[in-house]
Structure formats: C-alpha cells, structure tokens
Amino acid sequence: MQPEILAEVPTGLTKATLDPADWTELRAQSHLMLDDMLNYIEDIRTRPVWQPIPQSVRSTFHEGVPAQPTALTEVHEIFMQNILPYSAGNIHPGFMGWVQGGGTPVGMVAEMLAAGLNANVGGRDQMPVELEKQVVQWVRELFDFPETASGLFVTGTSMANLISVLVARTSALGVKVREKGLTASDKRLVAYTSSGAHGCIAQAIDLSGLGTHALRLIPMNDDFQMNLNALQHAIVEDRAAGLTPFFIAATAGTVDVGAIDNLDAIADIAQKEKIWFHIDGAYGALAILAPEIAPRLTGIQRADSIAFDFHKWGQVPYDAGFILIRDGKLHHDTFAAPSSYLRRETRGMAAGSPWPCDFGPDLSRGFRALKTWFTIKVYGTDKIGSVISDTCKLAQYLKKCVEINSSLELLAPVSLNIVCFRFRCNNSDLMNIDEINANIVLDLQESGIVAPSTTTINGCLAIRAAIVNHRTSTYEIDALIKATIDFGEVYLNRSHE
Ligand SMILES: *Cc1c(COP(=O)(O)O)cnc(C)c1O
C-alpha cells in the first residue's frame, strides 16, 4: 500500500523548529562557508603552521550560555576570526609534530554529507550500516583476514586497543567475565608489549580491570623493536610464578621512532604459547598499501586483532579509528547486550542483526564509514599507498640532510617516516643540550614555519619530525633544517657571550 505523501511542504506551522525560515538565505550562507574552508585548505601554505592564541581571543570564549539567537553569518564570522586561525595546524604541510593526518578536501565534503544525513550508525536496516560493512570487508581483504572476522569504526586506536584487550580477556576467562568480573576465574592474567609501545596500551590494561602491574614492558633492541628473547623469558618466568600470559601487543610503527616489531616472529611465539596476538598498527598498519613497505609488515596477517587509524596515514579527517578482530563471534559475545528497546526483527527497520553496537561500547555512533569510503573510492588505495611511500622517502631525505650537516646529529634509525635528531652543542652555563633542543622546538613551533615535536631517545631529548601529512614536501624539510640551525646558533652565540 502506498501511503499518501504531501505534495507540498505545509505552511503556517507555528511550532518551534530549528530549520530556517528562509532557505535561500541559508543556502547562500552555506555556500560561503564551504568556499571559506576550501580556500583555507587551498591556501594553507600561506599561513603559519600554528600561532599562539592571543589572550583577547581566548577571553571571547568565556561568555555565559546564550539564551538568545545570534545570526549564522555572525557566528560564522567569529569562527573565521577566532577559531580557524588558531587550530594545531595538522593540515599544514609544515606540521611534523606527533603523528597526525592532514585530512583532505574530499574527506571534508564527505563529512558534510554525513552530517546532513545525521545517520546514527549504531544499527538498524539502513545503507550507512551496509557501507560500514563494505569498509569492514575491505579491511579484511587488506590484511588477509577471513570472512568471519569482525570490524568496527571507533574514535581512534586508543579505543581500538581497549576493545582488543577486552575481547582477549573474554577469550582467556570466558564470557562469564562479563558478569563476574575478574573474579570469574582464579587465573591472574598478564600482558606483554615493548617499552616503545604507545601509552594507551597500558591504559587499556588499566581500564580492563587488570591493572597496569599486569603489563610487562619488554625492552627493545638497537632497532627499537621488542626484544624477542626478553619476551620469551618474561613469559616463562610468569608461567613459573603461576600467572597466565594472555595478550601480546606488538607495534607496527612505534610512535617515537616508527619502528616495526618483528611481527612474524612474535606471531610464532604467540602461537606456540597460545597467547592472543594483537598489533597496534595505529599509523603503520596502512603501510600495507605501499608495495615497498608492505613486506616489512609480514606477520600482520596472523594477528588475532589489529588496531589502526584511518585518520593518520590514511588522511581521513578525524576521527576514524578501526578495530579488526579475527574471531568475530568472540568479539560479538564480548559486547552484545540484549535489551527490550533494542529488539531485533527479521524485517522492518530493526532488521539486519548483528548491529555495529553489538561490537563495542558505543550505542549511538556517527557515520565515520562515509568519509573513509569516499577517501578510498575517490583516491584509490594505490594513491594512498604512494602518499605513504613518499612520506617515508621524505624522512630518508631529512635523514640525509641531518647526516651531511655537521651541526646536526641523528638519534635513532629511520625505519619509516619519523626522524629523531638534534642540534649539536656543548652544555653551556645557561642551558644543557637537552634544554637547547627543547627550546629550538618551541622556537620552531612559535615561528609558524614548521612544527616538529620532541621525544626522549636513550635519555637524550630529540627533535622529532613525524612526516604523515600528504602535503609535506622537500620544501618543508629544507625549511626545518635551516630554521633548526638558525635557532640553534642563537643559543650557541648567547652562551659564548
Ligand atoms: C597515535 C597512536 C596511538 C593512539 O591512537 P589515537 O587514534 O590517537 O587514539 C596508539 N598507538 C600508536 C603507535 C600511535 O601512533
């Protein structure tokens, strides 16, 4: 039966609504806003990477809750003047601080479409859920996982790592852990990761109720990879002490230096010891798309779970984290919670069970899959792979520049796209070498030219350039080298005075 559909939008409704009275005006204003952002991205090179926020701008945002309306044009103007110029700058080609993606105009407009649809991708019979399943299928294909593997978009790798720990916990203790907690079993679980692992692994162990004392930080070898003898030794020791090893988190692309653990060898150990093998591939896992780097990820296909972000090397706008789990049933059984108001049907809107909300803690979920799907469809994985390769080539270029420059020194091997180096100098009366390098980084950030960050390598403070952004070129690398030396020399001269 065809229902009657209104031929025209009814007029004269008096109830409150948030739609505009004048769509023509809103349309014109919307086009302006879209153009402003496209201009912003197109002209990003003419702006500083970052600039300090003036106090006057900060204080604009200390007002009370507005009960009365403000015109959209006016609010947009506030955005242009006081918000847009003062973001952290990760879309800028000179941004090399931390590991952050640059986003794309395609991702941006896809976000607009997703917001217009306002899909809640927790579940129900709708194409947005099907689209997420399409991306899950692509991810399975990339990592050679079986059809029975499950996948889910999440905020980021921090959440993805937490989910993997929870599923591994179910695997070790059984689903009764969901009701009885850790007292469900006498087993005392212990987990392993390298001392170069991201802090969110320890956080995941903490949040899972195991406590961070249950995490062994295995030392690294000279290449900043997990030391496998030490791992094997720790497992043997823990078993001898009556503990139950249950989880090994390897890293594909450490956040400090970009090292890739020996995944295949860790897979062997995990298999032999019957321990869950997880990979934190936050940014590195997508190197599977770059033919010359992919072989170094060998073993990733053997993982029980992989956590990674589309918002880093994948250049999808924030946020777009992902968790892939080999045993989809165990993943489902770790999170699914039947409730009367979420009843499933075989037809109608409540069909299509299981739903994404059955695979993680979020019920309401945004349409992260759309911007990811657009990005992959529009650019294709070959192009994204080339972007990834090129950031690694730039890192090699930066490494060479550091090596041929007598006032600079390299502090860690350059395995992927991260270069850790420092300005050479002797400790002065005023500052030691670490303080000078820390100040150089602050000067660089405040200059707006390029923005690296810092880390500590073998006890030394390093200038850390993580090249993730697809816009970065040799121009920014040259600028980094020149500005580092210029700022460094100011400190040298100051201490000679
Ligand atoms: C960035 C990163 C994380 C954290 O990911 P988020 O998306 O920021 O939550 C975890 N591990 C590694 C290796 C990372 O580079």
Full 3-state SS string of the chain? CCCCCCCCCCCCCCCCCCCCCCHHHHHHHHHHHHHHHHHHHHCHHHCCCCCCCCHHHHHHCCCCCCCCCCCHHHHHHHHHHHHHHHCCCCCCCCECCCCCCCCCHHHHHHHHHHHHHCCCCCCCCCHHHHHHHHHHHHHHHHCCCCCCCEEEEECCHHHHHHHHHHHHHHHHHCCCHHHHHHHHCCCCEEEEEECCCCHHHHHHHHHCCCCHHHEEEECECCCCCECHHHHHHHHHHHHHCCCEEEEEEEEECCCCCCCECCHHHHHHHHHHHCCEEEEECCCHHHHHHCCCCHHHHCCHHHCCEEEEECCCCCCCCCCCEEEEECCHHHHHHHHCCCCHHHCCCCCCCCCCCCCHHHHCCCCCCCCHHHHHHHHHHHHHHHHHHHHHHHHHHHHHHHHHHHHHCCCEEECCCCCCCEEEEEECCCCCCCCCHHHHHHHHHHHHHHHCCCECEEEEECCEEEEEEECCCCCCCHHHHHHHHHHHHHHHHHHHHHHHC
pLDDT of 13 reads: 63
Using alpha carbons only, what angle is made at residue 289 by residues 283 and 292, rounded to the nearest 5 degrees?
100
The pick from 200, 226, 286, 316 for probing ligand 1's pocket by mutation, whose C-beta has the most ligand atoms within 8 angstroms, reads 200
The structure tokens listed for 126 are 């709708």
Q: Are 461 and 85 in contact (CB under 8 A)?
A: no
**Cα separation values, 388 from 143, 384, 470, Å:** 17, 6, 8
Using alpha carbons only, what angle is made at residue 79 by residues 73 and 83, rounded to the nearest 5 degrees?
175
The pick from 256, 280, 417 for probing ligand 1's pocket by mutation, whose C-beta has the most ligand atoms within 8 angstroms, reads 280
159 CA: nearest ligand 1 atom: 9
Q: Residues lining ligand 1, CB < 6 A? A: 99, 156-158, 198, 200, 251, 253-255, 280, 282-283, 309, 321
Q: Whose CA is nearest to atom 1 of ligand 1?
A: 282
Chain center to CA of 484: 28
The structure tokens listed for 400 are 């060479």
Return all residues near 439 (Cβ < 8 A) that are at least 6 apart. Answer: 431, 487, 491
Q: Whose CA is nearest to atom 2 of ligand 1?
A: 282
Q: Whose CA is nearest to atom 7 of ligand 1?
A: 156
- Residue-by-residue pLDDT tens, the chain, 497 positions: 566 777 776 666 678 899 999 999 999 999 999 999 999 999 999 999 999 999 999 999 999 999 999 999 999 999 999 999 999 999 999 999 999 999 999 999 999 999 999 999 999 999 999 999 999 999 999 999 999 999 999 999 999 999 999 999 999 999 999 999 999 899 999 999 999 999 999 999 999 999 999 999 999 999 999 999 999 999 999 999 999 999 999 999 999 999 999 999 999 999 999 999 999 999 999 999 999 999 999 999 999 999 999 999 999 999 999 999 999 999 999 999 878 788 888 999 989 899 999 999 999 999 999 999 999 999 999 999 999 999 999 999 999 999 999 999 999 999 999 999 999 988 777 789 999 999 999 999 999 999 999 999 999 999 999 999 999 999 999 999 999 999 999 998 886 65
CA–CA dist 433, 424 (Å, integer): 8
pLDDT of 216 reads: 98
The count of other CB atoms within 10 Å of the CB of residue 214 is: 21
CA–CA dist 90, 103 (Å, integer): 8
160 CA: nearest ligand 1 atom: 9
311 CA: nearest ligand 1 atom: 7
Burial letters for 17-32: b for 16+ Cβ neighbours within 10 Å, e otherwise?
A: eeeeeeeeeeeebeee
pLDDT of 496 reads: 63
Q: 358 φ, ψ to 5°? A: -80, 0
Q: 187 φ, ψ to 5°? A: -65, 140
Q: 150 φ, ψ to 5°? A: -115, 160
CA of 375 to the centre of ligand 1 (A): 20
- Tell me yes or no: is domain 120-366 CATH 3.40.50.300: no
**Fold for the domain defined by 23-59+71-102+382-497:** Aspartate Aminotransferase, domain 1 (3.90.1150)
pLDDT of 341 reads: 81
Q: Parse the chain into domains and list their residue ranges.
A: 23-59+71-102+382-497, 120-366
Chain center to CA of 296: 21
